[in-house]
């Protein structure tokens, strides 16, 4: 048993699994990892796609199910979640990057039901 775990660690499979599951601070749009120390400033942009990193979608307090999509009740409501803002409670989140899909499966299912309902 002990020899097997040493082999697994020596082969790097365990390390690869741990690295694949690690969370990073990254751009919400393209997934580029923010490796600079500290929080992004108001004038910073993603070095890969040019998106503003200081947006609600990159914040630890962003929650689509919360009121105004923000868990921090001290923050003023922000209506454009993907646009840069001046929120003083912003903190860049550490998450696993999941690329956005072209279509929303719930939206597609709802559209299909409407087509069936109205004969389209």
- Of 3-7, 19-23, 49-53, the one with minimum mean pLDDT is 3-7
Mean pLDDT of the chain: 81
Answer whether residue 23 shows pLDDT above 50: yes
Cα 19 from Cα 14, distance rounded (Å): 9
Please tell me the predicted confidence (pLDDT) of residue 120. Answer: 65
29-71 pLDDT, tens digit per residue, is: 899 998 888 889 888 999 999 999 999 999 999 999 999 999 9
Query: What is residue 75's DSSP assignment?
Result: S
> How far is CA 20 from each of CA 15, 32, 59, 89, rounded to the nearest angstrom?
9, 15, 22, 29
Answer whether residue 105 shows pLDDT above 70: yes
Given a contact cutoff of 8 angstroms between Cβ atoms, the answer to whether 85 and 70 are in contact is no
- Of 12-21, 45-54, 73-82, the one with minimum mean pLDDT is 12-21
Reported confidence tier of residue 3, pLDDT bands at 50, 70, 90 = very low
Given a contact cutoff of 8 angstroms between Cβ atoms, the answer to whether 28 and 51 are in contact is yes
What proportion of the chain, given as a percentage, has pLDDT over 70?
A: 79
Please tell me the predicted confidence (pLDDT) of residue 19. Answer: 46
Query: What is residue 95's DSSP assignment?
Result: B
């Amino acid at each position: 048993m002990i020899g097997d775990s040493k082999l697994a660690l020596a082969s790097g499979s365990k390390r690869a699994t741990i690295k694949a599951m690690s969370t990073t601070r990254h751009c919400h749009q393209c997934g580029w990892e923010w490796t600079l120390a500290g929080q992004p400033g108001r004038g910073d942009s993603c070095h890969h796609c040019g998106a503003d990193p200081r947006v609600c979608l990159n914040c630890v307090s962003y929650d689509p199910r919360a009121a105004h999509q923000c868990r921090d009740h001290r923050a003023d409501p922000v209506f454009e979640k993907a646009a840069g803002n001046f929120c003083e409670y912003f903190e860049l989140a550490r998450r696993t990057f999941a690329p956005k899909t072209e279509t929303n499966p719930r939206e597609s299912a709802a559209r299909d039901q409407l087509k069936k309902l109205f004969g389209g």
